[in-house]
Amino acid sequence: MKKPAQHLIAEVPRRQARVEMTIGIDLGDVWSHYCTLNRDGEVVDRGRFRTTPKAIEKWFTDVPQARVAMEAGTHSIWISEQLQELGHEVIVANVRELRAISHSDRKSDQIDAEKLARYACLDPEILRPIAHRTVEQQEALTLIRARDLMVRLRTAAVNAVRGLTKSCGHRMPASTTSCFAKRSLAVMPPGLAQALGPVLEQIAAMTLKIKHYDQQIQQLGRAKYPETQALLKVHGVGHITALTFVLTLGNKERFGRSRDVGCYLGLRPRRSQSGDRDPQLRITKAGNVYLRSLLIEG
């Protein structure tokens, strides 16, 4: 071969144990390394390619249909979707289950790619495959995470202003975040106003941007994700929590039972049973941290 060839944990169909060609990919931010095995498990090709959509299309378009295995990560969502569009069978491995790779004392990009290929060739279930959300869902979720980033930046700025004024013997008045900039500037001494005025202007600007994000999130939920309207009827659930819940779960058909959603969100207890010993442990916290925090707030 001249060229090497959605974040929810869910049940996937049992695949055939043997395929004509298996490719393991160790994804990197700039370069990704691959290892190709034939039907008998022999290495027939190794190499690397740039982690870009153009490079994926170049290297994998002319490759015969193959089983491709990779770890879940920053680039795995769009790469797995692109490879599936090119006709390949894609397995995205659950990173938490790959301790033989992540904790290996012979760790390298080339070796990791070969291990992924061998696991996928032997039995894909070893990799505990996950099903990614779509790129479209990920883009919608990015809108929510961008708002969360803006909120955290505003909070840091407000706390900084309060702390800096206290060191000069002044105290900013108690107020909601939305009107903090205006009320603080009105009572701030001229010397501090000259230094902290630009920061207060940024706080006011971020407040307007957050309101704009809120409007976009509401419009997106009503227009493209009608399931959120039913969730809004639950006490304590707002537009952000409802849309985050729908987008994070993705295709709800992947969950055989409603209680499986709690397991996905890391709300089931860990287990470490051995012989007669089966202690009760804390929850796994293996799911989406941001969604779990929103549910706790609700």
pLDDT recorded at residue 134: 87
Please write the tens of the pLDDT for every residue from 240-287: 999 999 999 888 888 888 888 888 888 888 878 788 887 888 887 777
Q: 161 and 203 in contact (C-beta within 8 Å)?
A: yes
Residue 268: which of 252, 282, 249, 250 has the closest Cα? Answer: 282
The backbone region for 246, taken as left when phi is positive above 0, alpha when psi lies in -120 to 50, beta otherwise, is alpha
Q: Which two tokens stand for residue 16?
A: 């055939």
pLDDT recorded at residue 273: 79
Whether the model pTM is above 0.85: no
pLDDT recorded at residue 28: 93
Q: Which two tokens stand for residue 270?
A: 């860990």
Please write the tens of the pLDDT for every residue from 143-167: 999 999 999 999 999 999 999 999 8
Residue percentage of the chain with pLDDT more than 90: 54
Average pLDDT of the chain is 87
pLDDT recorded at residue 105: 67
pLDDT recorded at residue 283: 80
Instruction: Please state, in angstroms and rounded to a whole number, the distance separating the CA atoms of residues 51 and 4.
Output: 13
pLDDT recorded at residue 4: 46
Instruction: Please state, in angstroms and rounded to a whole number, the distance separating the CA atoms of residues 238 and 248.
Output: 15
Question: Looking at 51-84, which runs of residues are DSSP E strands?
Answer: 67-71
Q: Which residues of the chain have pLDDT under 70?
A: 1-18, 100, 102-105
pLDDT recorded at residue 11: 43
Residue 137: which of 244, 254, 231 has the closest Cα? Answer: 244
Instruction: Burial-class residue 172 by CB neighbours within 10 Å (0-12, 13-18, 19+).
Output: buried
Question: Domain residue spans in the chain?
Answer: 8-131, 135-254
pLDDT recorded at residue 206: 96
In angstroms, how far is CA 121 from the centroid of its own chain?
27
145: which residues sit within 8 A by CB, 6+ positions away? Answer: 290
What is the third-level CATH fold of 8-131? Nucleotidyltransferase; domain 5 (3.30.420)
